[in-house]
Structure 1
Amino acid sequence: MTKSTRRKHAWRARLPVVGIVVVVTAGVAAAVTGAANPLPGLRVVPGGHWVYNSVLHVAFHVDGGTAAIDARAAVPGDPGSQVLQGDSSGYVVGGTRITEFGKSDLTAGPSVTPPSAEVPVGVETAGGPYLVYRRAGQVARLGDPAATMSAGGPVGDPVATADGTLWLPRTSSGLLCRLDRGAVSLSSCPVALPAVHQGAFTLVGDALHFVDTTDGSVRTVEADGLGAAVPMGVAATADLRPAANDVAGRVPVLDSSANRLYLVDPAPNPRPAIVVALPAGQYDGPVAGGPVVAVVNRSTGTLLTFDAAGRPTDARPVPPGEGTSRIVRGEDARVYVDGAQGTHVLVVGKDGKITDVPVVPPAGKPDQPVPDHPTPGQPPVVVPVEHPGTGNNPDGGAGDKPKPHEPPPPPRNPSPPAVPASPPGAPPGVSATGGDSSATVSWGAAADNRAAVTAYRISWAGGSRTVGGGTRQVEITGLANGTRYTFTVVAQNKAGTGPGASASATPAAAASAPKLTAAYRDGDASLSWTQPDLGGGQLVHYVVTGTGLAQQTVSGTTATYSGLSAGKTYTFTVRAVTRTPDGQTRTGAAASKSVTVPSPKITISQGAPTSSGNCDAPDCARVNVTMTGFAPNTTYAIRLSSESNANVRTESARTNGNGSLTYNQLDYDEPGQTVWVSVETPDGRITSNRINWKSQ
């Protein structure tokens, strides 16, 4: 990197800094890894963990896979500083200054002074890193583009998903807001949290969940709200503290008051929580790293690790030193515990075993503390990684001069040697979503560890599939609905196959269409149906619709619609809504039926001869009256009229449940007259057909 490039790099680092210090209390830093492409010809230190040795003023890089120091850079800093890393830069963040250094050339730039004493939360994620000032409601992005943004009020602990989205819960308004990667202001606040409820957020795979400590439940965070509450199976208390990531699909939750660690299942129909009894003490954490969860007992100064089943795997004393150690999740998804002065790091392996890594220079080559203020115009000191055989004396003696005719010694500060390629890291953000006899598996780019990823292999019980290194999603077909599958994704490069990351899904089909019947009865449209094939899901409810009518949500198998208009045809549909074993909601196929509401109609005819007190044979006969489409179970006045008499006679009759009646108690006896019948309704008079009366 040229001097001009370094000057530009350092100038950019000044832009976002407003009140930047970092949290030194353990268990609050969220870390989500991403892959970065190095500039041609530059050495980029791979994903892992950086620690700041405040005694030597040197940032050291720890390779979690080998538990070895593989790079270091001399950077001015404060005691207790921590290191956050972005795609191409690292940042030593302390209480009085922040210093950026290049991960490719391990060269420090100038420091900047944070004006605020508030301790922020540091978040490593794609597009970051970020510093979140919770009380002030401010977010500072150190990455490109640098920016300082308002969160609109105080916020709780942030969480970042693998795509670089930063989620911020507003503590005053109860809203969950999102900051998209590269955005210069909050993108939206789409989710409202339950009123007066407390809790925190965690990632299961890369799906965001809300751990509600008020009612002891876990809810998925969906596009416009929270999903159904899944009981954790533990007593609700304000002392519950979840990890920021899951362990094999379970959320680690620490109950600091009861000295218990729980591993809870957030899926619908959850498995019972795993309960781990902890020794008495005050705890930091939990922090989840791959298949391991770790806590630090502050009272005894011990790091404890457990596997995904809650079984103890290891215990070690925390690194010594004045101040407070820090437990974090590294960029490689491993757990690290930094000593307070950065002179030791505990590295937790994928098997839960703990390795103590001294953060010191090689024997016989003591580093000198870096001056706080380098000479103006001089580049910052680069402290290279030294290996056996690169010193001035092949025999190991100190201060010996080269023998005659031997080549001159190497430069005092040679460039760091190239780090050999190793198998890729585990793919981040693995998720699986069940479909109909299928599942869609997605993942993020695995750290290539200095050799391009050439392929990803997805395996499950009954099969496997290999796709190209640029693929991030694949659909697996031919699966059995209702069967839970665990999909493991590994990355491959020329150095070998890396560790796997897994996610589970249960294929399920949408429900089929119900068998529907519909009829017009008693003035209403009455619907009934039978439960359809639910496709391996669980019935939530039925959704019923009708033409121009309000939608109904019912749990049974019947529905009724009233207030229908005469003469109009209504089409009704019924769909079953189900929830898959993975908690997804699906709407099934629709069944449809149409119902026509009859219009009021009166029909008359001349009936059989009769006689009465006011009607004489042979001209007297009954008037047969048929009414349809009237209001059911309603009494109507039926008036008989003729050309010579507007109201020959009026009598009353009552319709049946279908709004129909047949009446033949009216009679008439004047041949040659035109007669008809009429009925008054709330909507007006209904008149029958007209007939000419004939002598029988």
Structure 2
Amino acid sequence: MFKRSRPFALIAVLAAGVLVAALTGAAKPLPAGRFALSGHWVFNSLLQVALHIDGATTNIDAHAEVDGEPGSQVVQSDTHGYVVGANTITQFDRATLEVRDSISPPAEERPLPIEGVGGPYLAYRNAGMVMRMGDPPTVIRVGGAFGTPILTKDGTLWLHRQEVGQLCTVNKDSTVINGCPVDVPPGHTGALTILDDRTAFVDTFTSTLHPIENGKLGDGVLLGESVPPYARAATQDVGGRVAILDPQRQTLLLADSKNPPGEHVTVSLPPGDYEGPMSTGDVVVLVERQSGNVLTYAPDGRSKETKPIKQKNGEPRLSQGEDNRVYVEDTDGTQVIVVARDGNVQDVSTADRPSPTPAPNTGGPGDVRVAAPPPSQPPKQPTREPDKPQAPPPVPPGRPGAPASVSATAGNNAAVVKWGSAVDNRADITSYQVSWRASTGQTGSLTTGGGARQTTVNGLSNGVSYVFTVTATNRMGTGPGASSAAVTLVAPVSPASAPINLRSSYDVNDRPTRDVTLLWNQPSLNGGTLVHYVVAGTGLAQRTVTGTQTAYAQLPSATKYTFTVRAVTRTPDGNTVTGQPATHVVQDTPPPAVKPQITISQGGPSSSDNCERPNCFWVITRLTGFPPGKYRLTLSSNANPTVNNSESVTVNADGKGAYDKLNYDVPNETVWVSVQGPDGRVQSNKIVWKKG
């Protein structure tokens, strides 16, 4: 069972330590723990400036002039900030606010930023890489694609590798994956989350919640209702519940984490395309991309607040601060909505260039920053007659408009995206960027030339819905995006493959007829739905079969039969298609002929008028491979060609016969038995008679 607890004692101790440090000027970190970084940096791509928002007061308290790409985001460590763009990551010093280095991203993918102990991190989920920002930055290779990571308070980064069924970890300050200690069912979709500071796994394949206990998944807790594989879970709980968004049904599930669970809550959301969910711990935050509304919900499902983003174009972005606040930015970084832990929502305008940030203090302890004095006012100039009106200056160039008529056509693991020209606003368009978001939450993008009007996006997943957004870029920046309607990729329908492992069974000794049973396994249906199988054989009537076997009774054993089996499928348009054939030959091969054979051996003691003890013993005779019937036996020795020829043996239908009534009594003589068979005389093995 998950139990809620918060480290109030640790917070109090750390707060006392900060007060002492402030009063004494001490700069060393406290050994008892690490304070969460407060606030959030945002990049205004129009002003080319990074601004820091104090989350508690929502004031802009610092800014740095940084050249960055449109749509860049900012992450922070204790000492540095990083403006993260598609092609360049720019580092600046948080103390001096000066730009330091430019870093090349490890992959062509928009990363997921993660701030916290040991970080910040940039997660390139599709490329299977994590980049820890630092001096120098470290690229950690995961070994394959992974889902949304979580970062625990001790600095452990957890990642879910769905295709191999593993939960892997990166320890604080590690440069490699430290292991994959927890196994989950391979192929099961799901998400990692933190419940009361403990790691848990939401299995969306089985709609269960599993705490991670002692290096393995704990007992599953039912979520209360079925969730689809592409459902998205918040990375931390909200009031002891796990928040799960179903983007297609447009519902928010708030599932109880106790075992056994209490009542779950399902919230019906307004129609829209949602980003999130994200949790402050006390409220859930969602953003509806089309309207730009920020929505918050309490753990019991009550709607708390709805706040609009002013810039409706583009794609708003959610970020989880290390201070447990949620920050929602517009595309250009001109507005930030701050959601406090308790759900209080504040709007911060970052559209204007702030006043110069005072230079960093370089004095001793206790010194404070002092802003430079304002410049002296110039002497007042004598008035003059106004100039004659002049022609207005030309309109300066601006960012391009949105592309027209964006559409997408679904294909096999791919889609063709088309668009019309965007208004260039007096500066030539240099490129178009096509980005996409899947119903599973996966995203991606590619860039084409300024003259392109369509592109093919490969490497997508069939059965998944995608929305494509196209933006235009010129030297002034990137304009607003325009999106296609959602399309679901499907594999092309084709005739079914040949049935698998077509084989037969029958009794080869069943003559002159035999019963033959054909068996096979279902083939790949290649996008169709199985109707039945068509079975044909040499000289036999064609038949339809709904299962994967059929039997033929009393087929002549001497006849060779060639059988074919095909699957008949129905395509989505209602037509039926006959698939590829599987072929099997049935030909009865007679068993090999058995050569007639006689075997004798010296048996137990015997006696008769012509056979005296103690050297008289039975002659044990065995016949095999003879046609059924009665045969006369001739007992011979090297001294007498015909010792006895008055005894007969009967051979049964199996070709076998036995006779134990012959006897013999001359020691050291060589003895044998012969029979006149249908193909000539057959003689047994010879034995030397032993005395009694």
Taking structure 1 as the reference length, the TM-score comes to 0.47
With a CA cutoff of 8 Å and minimum separation of 6, indicate the structure with the bigger relative contact order.
1
Q: Larger C-alpha radius of gyration, 1 or 2?
A: 2
